Amino acid sequence: MRIRSVVVLASAASLVIGLSGCAVLGAPTAQTCVSWVDFADAQAMYDDATIVVAGVADPADGSIELLSGPGERHRVDVDAVYKGDFGGDELWAAAPRDYCVAEPPQPVDDPIPTGERVLLFLHPASADAVPVGEEPEVADVGAWSVLTPLAGVVAFPEGAKPPFDASAR
């Protein structure tokens, strides 16, 4: 009878450990694994973004907690706004990272380049899932996130033409 109790207890413990995932192992940060949207082109990114700006990012100086885990935080000097009611000349932005891969991203893998003019396709940064249609007012957003780890940053040198049609919306 004692052996049966030990087997049942061991099975229950294995189930609890299996269901709790990394929490039992003491993972340093939490992240949510998601399937990332694959945008066909810059027009699709433009259509999905809350705001679209052009500017130059400073080197990362911290992190922003996003749904997928921490992203490197950059101050961006904004020189043009192509979508949204953003009225400032700078903002804080980060790129979500895919921590659900065999080799987690390192800071050097940050998709937001520093010192180069880029287009940023942005949503409000959040560590929580935001229901569709419930985004905060642009003026209330403290930090922004590019759309995915692979989409939302496009090289945009001075004098370049935007790779989307803002009137097609």
For residue 37, tell me if it sits in a domain.
Answer: no
Does the pLDDT at position 128 exceed 90? no
- Shared domain for 51 and 26, answered yes or no, is no
- Shared domain for 51 and 25, answered yes or no, is no
For residue 23, tell me if it sits in a domain.
Answer: yes
For residue 110, tell me if it sits in a domain.
Answer: yes
Both tokens assigned to 90: 């700078």
- Shared domain for 159 and 124, answered yes or no, is yes
pLDDT of residue 9: 35
Does the pLDDT at position 39 exceed 80? yes
For residue 35, tell me if it sits in a domain.
Answer: no
Looking at the DSSP bridge assignments, the partners of residue 54 are 80, 119
Burial of 152 (0-12, 13-18, 19+ CB in 10 A): buried
Task: Give the structural domain span for 159.
Answer: 42-168
For residue 36, tell me if it sits in a domain.
Answer: no
Domains in the chain, number: 2
Does the pLDDT at position 168 exceed 60? yes
- Shared domain for 145 and 82, answered yes or no, is yes
* Span 40-81, pLDDT tens digits: 899 999 998 999 999 999 998 887 777 777 788 899 999 999
- Shared domain for 71 and 112, answered yes or no, is yes
Band of pLDDT at residue 37, cut at 50, 70 and 90: confident
Band of pLDDT at residue 15, cut at 50, 70 and 90: very low
Long-range contacts, 81-84 (Cβ 8 Å, 24+)? 81/51, 81/52, 81/53, 82/46, 82/52, 82/53, 82/54, 82/119, 82/162, 82/164, 82/166, 83/46, 83/49, 83/50, 83/51, 83/52, 83/166, 84/49, 84/50, 84/51, 84/52, 84/53, 84/138
Task: Specify the CATH number for the domain of residue 71.
Answer: 2.40.50
- Shared domain for 86 and 150, answered yes or no, is yes
Band of pLDDT at residue 2, cut at 50, 70 and 90: very low
pLDDT of residue 151: 84
Note the pTM of the prediction, 2 decimals: 0.73
Q: How many CB atoms lie within 10 A of CB 126?
A: 16
Does the pLDDT at position 115 exceed 90? yes
- Shared domain for 6 and 75, answered yes or no, is no
- Shared domain for 13 and 52, answered yes or no, is no
pLDDT of residue 24: 36
